[in-house]
Structure 1
Amino acid sequence: MPTFVIFDLEFTTWPGAMEQDWSAPGQLREIVQIGALRVRRERGGHGERGAYGAYRVVEEYEALVRPVVNPVLSPFFTTLTGVEQGSVDRDGLAPAQALGDFLAFCQGQSVLSYGNDMLVLGENIGWARARGEEIKHHALTPGFLNIRPWLNAVAPATATVNSGRLWQALGLPRPAPGDEHSALFDCHSIAAALRHLSGEGVSLPEALL
């Protein structure tokens, strides 16, 4: 059966950066954490680990990435995401490697996010190339889909929440261990929302059918 990918990014930030669109000197949206789920649409699976009714998680991808311009994480970022400096220093991948691995995970599938994370991904690919780094598997087909406008329209209760709180806005059980602003947890929150809406008979975007 066909599969698609749900992904989420955590990237460097500071107090007020989002409100100012990362416009302060030296503030770039460098990716620090990538989370992704490969999801297959199928029937059944209720109650099984990793199953979302008609949408079954068949594979996970998670990586830490070492930022280059701002290698020292801000206390604001660490408090927000729970990602510690020591973990990034020890386990973080070079940006080109992480980006290439993630794009390989996505090959041949529709790739969706709750918001414009694909723009941040593109920024980071551009910076890596400008440094002369090679990124493999950079062409994606069919491509990216931001499902936030659709999801907010069919479920207005979600309009003011981030991806990691979708499950709460819809009154659903916690979808996975962890909490919001952890990239993989946020992916599970998106998947739980899709399961719920599918079960409610909502017509889903064509890319997910």
Structure 2
Amino acid sequence: MSTFVVFDLEFTSWPGALEQDWGAPGQLREIVQIGALRLREDCSVVEEYEALVRPVVNPRLSAYFTELTGIEQERVDRDGIPAAEALGDFLGFCRGEAVLSYGNDMVVLGENVGWARARGEEVKNGFLAAHFLNIRPWLNSLAPETASSNVGRLWQVLGLPKPAAGNEHSALFDCYSFAAAIEHLHSTGTALPEGCLRRS
């Protein structure tokens, strides 16, 4: 069976952080939520992955982040797992797959792996066993109306039915929105970008 993975991250943020590229002192893009879907070539879902992660440098979520994502401090404190564990689990989920993002989330992933290792924590699995691809340029070129859209709004911009329960800026919902956009383009006869499918 030929499969691939789509993923999305939610990470710590503050007012103006995006515009400043997280350049203010102490502001790091620490992952708080990972969402991923393993999809067949026809974009049907084989498996979901979701994890809440406890940030280390900024363990208290900003009000801005909570309002944006709906992720409450209490939930992260109760259900969040250590960063190294979450990163290792997710990289294990991706093993042997092409792993697609809508933007450069793999850079944020790499930052977080680096920080965990710098703290002396073991991150099981690694990047070399997966093939990460940012397919936003491909998607935007085929559907120019998506160029200014975040991943969680792709379904809406393309006029598609809401793909799952939830809302944008929830990592797993954003994955369903992303998958719906890929499926929509694929259904028109558009081939997936080269390197997106690997035989398992």
Query: Which contiguous aligned blocks of 4+ residues in structure 1 show a shift greater than 3 angstroms?
Result: 139-142
Counting only pairs closer than 5 Å after superposition, residues 139-178 of structure 1 correspond to structure 2 as: 139-178=127-166
Question: Cα deviation per residue 1:109-138 (whole Å; 9 max; x = unaligned)?
Answer: 000100000000000000000000000011
Once the two structures are overlaid, the 10-residue window that deviates more, 194-203 or 127-136, is 194-203
Name the SS of the counterpart of 2:111 in structure 1: helix
Indicate yes or no: 2:169 matched with 1:181.
yes
TM-score w.r.t. structure 1 length?
0.92
* C-alpha separation in 1, matches of 2:147 and 2:121: 38
Question: Cα deviation per residue 1:40-80 (whole Å; 9 max; x = unaligned)?
Answer: 11xxxxxxxxxxxx211010000000000000000000000
Indicate yes or no: 2:110 matched with 1:122.
yes
Match of 1:37 in 2: 37
- CA RMSD in angstroms comes to 0.9
Name the SS of the counterpart of 1:179 in structure 2: coil
- Aligned-residue identity in percent: 72
TM-score w.r.t. structure 2 length?
0.96
Match of 1:74 in 2: 62
Mapped contact 1:108–1:140 kept (Cα < 8 A): no
Match of 2:7 in 1: 7
CA shift, 1:142, in A, is: 4.3
The one of 182, 191, 195 equivalent to 1:203 is 191
Match of 2:99 in 1: 111
Name the SS of the counterpart of 2:184 in structure 1: helix
* C-alpha separation in 1, matches of 2:12 and 2:73: 12
* C-alpha separation in 1, matches of 2:39 and 2:112: 25
Mapped contact 1:35–1:61 kept (Cα < 8 A): yes
Aligned residue pair count: 197
Please list every run of 5 or more consecutive structure 2 residues that lacks an aligned counterpart in the other structure: none
* C-alpha separation in 1, matches of 2:47 and 2:128: 18
Q: Which residue identity lines up with residue 80 of structure 1 in the other structure?
A: L
Mapped contact 1:66–1:89 kept (Cα < 8 A): yes
Q: Which residue identity lines up with residue 58 of structure 1 in the other structure?
A: V
Q: Which structure's relative contact order is higher, taking Cα pairs within 8 Å and 6+ residues apart?
A: 2
